[in-house]
Structure 1
């Protein structure tokens, strides 16, 4: 029985170490919102995304280039956004427009019956500011953990 307790304790410690650099969903959302500019009507889309990050059920960040990102606020909850292996964006002639275009969740079985997620608002993200904020939040999280006394 003692060996099982030690094993479980080791797993919990390793799990805590693996997640030390992770930001909470609320930290990530606040970081992107504070780094986003004023709303824009649309943005140029080059046919494929360089990356994307879900921010709950009603928002996500998409990267169109390594140093170009947009915060997309959705009109309502987007089914399976946090678990999707891929997404796509509708567009017209290479422009993604607020209130006209959608985020489409892809993968995880059949896409039949999935409701597209309408883009309500588009805000350009200051990618350099995000990188600085991420680093500061990670450092603050590490300092916080270092100050907490170890529990036996």
Structure 2
């Protein structure tokens, strides 16, 4: 195979991969907006329950992530640009006496990467987040006919 054909195939693969990631980027942006809308005013710190780990976490970008300390308690963290944040499989948080503070504590994403300093912490109103998420969902309602079947579309013929 000639070098030109190989280059064309590689470029085609890159183009297809870029087109495929557009819906993911849009979903990620919608989640960012929903979390930001549900986030409250900044706080200086939050407490981790002694002896327990982070319940869950979700990266939103290389500068933002959501930390769930309990299923019913979450925080939106803004950090300095953080290498590998959106791709890592695990994270860690530094803390002192189970307290995570802005400007002092960091998000850890793995050994070769520099820890990311936490710039801002905002508690998330999860009830508000659920409402924001529901408002972004688009559902088409189609009434059923008496037989319990969906009506035939206007373009179909008999």
TM-score for the superposition, normalised by structure 2: 0.68
Tell me what 2:77 maps to: 72
Larger Rg: 2
Tell me what 2:30 maps to: 27
Distance 1:128 1:87 in 2: 26
Unaligned runs of 5+ in 1: 1-15, 144-152
Tell me what 1:132 maps to: 131
TM-superposition CA deviations, 1:34-57 (whole Å, max 9, x none):
100000000001241111111111
- Runs of 4 or more consecutive aligned structure 1 residues displaced over 4 Å after TM superposition: none
Matched pairs, number: 119
Question: Quick check: 1:101 aligned with 2:102?
Answer: no
Root-mean-square deviation (Å): 2.4
Query: Is the CA contact (8 Å cut-off) linking 1:44 and 1:96 kept in structure 2?
Result: yes
TM-score for the superposition, normalised by structure 1: 0.71
Tell me what 2:85 maps to: 81
Question: Quick check: 1:59 aligned with 2:58?
Answer: no
SS at 2:128's partner residue?
helix
Q: CA deviation at 1:29?
A: 0.9
Distance 2:123 2:72 in 1: 11
Query: Is the CA contact (8 Å cut-off) linking 2:37 and 2:132 kept in structure 1?
Result: no
SS at 1:83's partner residue?
coil
Distance 2:34 2:57 in 1: 15
**Greater relative CO (CA pairs within 8 A, separation 6+):** 1
Tell me what 2:94 maps to: 90
Query: Is the CA contact (8 Å cut-off) linking 1:23 and 1:138 kept in structure 2?
Result: no
Distance 1:132 1:50 in 2: 22
Q: CA deviation at 1:60?
A: 0.4
Distance 1:89 1:23 in 2: 28
Query: Is the CA contact (8 Å cut-off) linking 2:45 and 2:99 kept in structure 1?
Result: yes
